[in-house]
């Protein structure tokens, strides 16, 4: 794929859930385009492996997005390693399959804790850095499950609709500080998250699953100054899944 290199040169980015799947694709593309990237994930071995592969522009920090103390430590480590954060991709997420009837309270809380509260804590943690540099781009990963009803994903859908709501609220609050907040709504993307779900491509008009790198190009755009006039928006990238 032809590209102009350096679309985010000089930026300092944090990608949660950056060790696998779409997060790893965001990390790679941001680093390829000149950003310094912190890979923040619970999976230490894979995070370190990716950081070593990418070299001096990448660094791994172990982070459970549900823990405010770990977020504080991450912002300090990022500052001392690369400088203040100006891009955050709130990508870490989990999916547990259940219906409104079969969801246990424990499972419901677990999904909300990672997907929704993790996103909230991430935004809160990076705002001081972004205010300091006078700009910022927060990219929250929602889902097509946050736009239409999809059966058997009850807590997941609740969390992904919430991500869109928090995105709009934060976008309004942070616009005066030149901090942009946008949501990405991917459809079915080839990662381990959907590997066991037995999904078919028939419900996707383009007739195939997305590749993580295709989603990463949208995140790269939102991280870069090319999207300087874009905030509070839902960016759908789903092969037409939500069109019908
Ligand atoms: P994945 O399972 O491949 O990757 C998720 C990453 O999040 C992993 O690296 C995992 O270790 C990390 N993670 C999980 N819990 C964490 C926690 N508490 N703290 C920090 N890191 C944690 O999944 P993926 O498909 O790449 O998903 C990335 C994001 O995209 C998620 O938010 C997911 O909900 C969303 N999404 C995925 C699809 C899809 O079809 N794959 C579609 C729409 C949205």
Residue pLDDT, tens place only, 92-126: 999 999 999 999 999 999 999 999 999 999 999 99
The span from the CA of 117 to the CA of 101, in Å, is 23
Answer yes or no: is pLDDT of 1 > 80: no
Question: How much is the pLDDT for 196?
Answer: 85
Please indicate whether residue 188, judged by its CB atom, sits closer than 6 Å to ligand 1.
yes
The span from the CA of 36 to the CA of 59, in Å, is 8
Looking at residue 186, its pLDDT comes to 98
Q: 219 CB less than 6 Å from ligand 1?
A: no
Residue 115 Cα to ligand 1 middle (Å): 9
Contact 9, 38 (CB under 8 A): no
Is 156 considered catalytic here?
yes
Which atom of ligand 1 lies nearest, measured to the CA of 141? 32
Report whether CATH 3.40.50.720 matches the domain 12-237. yes
pTM of the model: 0.97
Q: Per-residue pLDDT tens for 75-93? A: 999 999 999 999 999 999 9
Domain locations in the chain as residue ranges: 12-237
| Residue 167 Cβ contacting ligand 1 at under 6 Å | no
C-alpha 101/C-alpha 4 separation (Å) is 50
Residue 4 has pLDDT above 70, yes or no: no
| Annotated active-site residue in 156, 217, 221, 241 | 156
Checking phi first, is residue 6 left (phi over 0); if not, alpha (psi -120 to 50) or beta? Answer: left
Whose CA is closest to atom 39 on ligand 1?
A: 189
């Amino acid at each position: 794929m032809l590209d102009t290199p350096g679309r985010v040169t000089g930026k300092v980015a944090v990608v949660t859930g950056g060790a696998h799947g779409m997060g790893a694709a965001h990390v790679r593309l941001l680093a390829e385009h000149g950003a310094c990237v912190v890979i923040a994930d619970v999976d230490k071995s894979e995070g370190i492996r990716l950081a070593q592969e990418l070299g001096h522009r990448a660094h791994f920090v172990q982070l459970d997005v549900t823990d405010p103390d770990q977020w504080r430590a991450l912002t300090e480590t990022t500052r001392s390693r690369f400088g203040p954060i100006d891009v955050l991709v709130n990508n870490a997420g989990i999916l547990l399959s259940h219906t409104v009837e079969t969801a246990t309270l424990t499972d419901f809380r677990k999904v909300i804790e990672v997907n929704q509260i993790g996103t909230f804590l991430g935004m809160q943690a990076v705002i001081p850095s972004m205010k300091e540099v006078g700009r910022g781009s927060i990219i929250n990963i929602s889902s097509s499950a946050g736009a239409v009803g999809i059966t058997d994903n009850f807590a997941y859908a609740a969390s992904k609709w919430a991500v869109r709501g928090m995105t709009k609220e934060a976008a309004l609050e942070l616009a005066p500080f030149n901090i942009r907040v946008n949501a990405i709504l991917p459809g079915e993307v080839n990662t381990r998250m959907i590997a066991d779900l037995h999904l078919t491509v028939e419900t996707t008009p383009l007739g195939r699953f997305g590749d993580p790198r295709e989603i990463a190009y949208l995140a790269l755009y939102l991280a870069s100054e090319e999207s300087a006039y874009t905030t509070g928006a839902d960016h759908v990238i789903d092969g037409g899944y939500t069109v019908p």
